[in-house]
A = this chain, B = another copy of it.
Amino acid sequence: MRRICVVITARPSYSRIKAALDAIAAAPGLELHIVLAASALLDRFGNLQDVLRDDGFTPSARVFTVIEGDRPSTMVKTTGLGMIEMASVFEQLAPDVVVTIADRYETLATAAAAAYMNIPVTHIQGGEVTGSIDEKVRHAVTKLSNLHFVATETAADRVRRMGEPPESVFVTGCPSIDLAAAAAARPPITSRELFSRYGGVGPALDLEKPFLVVLQHPVTTEYDAARASITETIQAIHTLNMPTLWFWPNVDAGSDGTSKGLRVFREQHQPKHIHFFRNLLPMDFLRLLNQATGIVGNSSAAIRECSFLGTPAVNIGTRQQGRERGRNVVDVGYDRIEIIGAIERMIDGPRPARDTIYGDGAAGSRIASLLGRLPLNVEKRLAY
């Protein structure tokens, strides 16, 4: 029986692993332990605890590590506290392998803690290219990891070129695409379903008519510019005056600038065509993306899940720079004119065809199968 410990530190990571969790939990030779940590436990970033419970999972440990302040130095200290806490958790759980997801700054704590404790580390979603601090974190985690389950062929190629042993790199596809596939198979979400389930702030909108989804996160290393960036998007959406579902951003240094911009706008304009949400259940969010006219902002969902769904995306700024794109993505700068133009073309254009660059919908079972049968070692060396 292999003990698989999956550490989830933020709500978006849950979508990126959910299908694998289901498969691990169902696999006869695997014992699943979920650790919830960092912003995954906090209401203001979309507390995952209820979601997990509803999905039938019970976390083996919960680790509160976010030091408030939304500053670069508190990011560091949150990660440091995360290492201190994670070492205790790993001592207690004694996993055979630790799984860490993607590239948020606090995932370095997971990978380093496991590596130092001689526990093999499996990294989901390495080998991608984005820029900003995520870029450094992602590749540092790759170098601390022993197994790499990547989303795309290009990512696999990068991980191998970084010197990881080729036999440790697997193109599983991203488990989030498994969810997208499931969402696409379900009926559209109705207005009544959406607004009664999630509340939010603003008027109820008619989801049978065209509508936009907006989700724009602050970009870590552009701390001071967060407010200016969001303002361009706000003004563009304000001008277009089209039904819009706007989602609050995640925690990050700079979230204050972004949130402040959104709050001031909402109080000043009390816009009639925008409804604000904090978080949806992942499945509902994907169903919504599937039926949206398009998505605007800098969410990775626009690049990844929407490529599979064929939902057009206007991607703003540098946050997704370097990520592979399907045919559904148009890139624009932090400029309201550019943003408006791209959205208008998106509305008028044909719906793009599906892409499977990020996965074919079977990533979860591939991951569970690999975790069950691959040899687990902690030693490794550069392949060159």
Interface residues of A (CB under 8 A from B): 41-43, 64-69, 71-77, 79-88, 90-92, 105, 108-109, 112-113, 115-118, 129, 131-133, 135-137, 139-144, 158, 161-163, 199, 221, 223, 256, 267, 322, 378-382, 384
Contact = CB atoms under 8 A, between A and B. Distances in A.
A158 B379 CA distance: 18
Contact of A87 (B43, B80, B109): B80
B163 A116 contact: no
B64 A65 contact: no
Given A43-B256, A381-B129, A76 B71 contact: no
A118 B221 contact: yes
Q: How would you classify the secondary structure of chain A's contact residues: helix, strand, loop or mixed?
A: helix
A331 to B, nearest CB: 16
A116 B112 contact: no
Listed from nearest, the 3 A-B pairs whose CB atoms lie closest are: A80-B83, A76-B87, A139-B143
Contacts of A72: 116-118
Nearest to A71: B64
A251 to B, nearest CB: 9
A40 to B, nearest CB: 11
25 contacts: A41-B69, A42-B69, A64-B69, A64-B71, A64-B73, A66-B68, A67-B67, A67-B81, A72-B117, A73-B88, A73-B117, A75-B117, A77-B81, A77-B87, A80-B84, A80-B113, A116-B133, A118-B133, A118-B223, A129-B382, A137-B144, A161-B161, A161-B163, A162-B162, A199-B267
Query: What is the copy number of this chain in the assembly?
Result: 4
Nearest to A138: B143
Contact of A109 (B67, B80, B105): B80
Contacts of A87: 73-74, 76-77, 80
B131 A379 contact: yes
Nearest to A41: B69
Nearest to A38: B68
B80 A81 contact: yes
Contacts of A115: 133, 136
Given A43-B256, A80-B84, A381 B67 contact: no
Contact of A380 (B67, B136, B161, B379): B136
Contacts of A380: 135-136
B382 A116 contact: no
Nearest to A132: B379
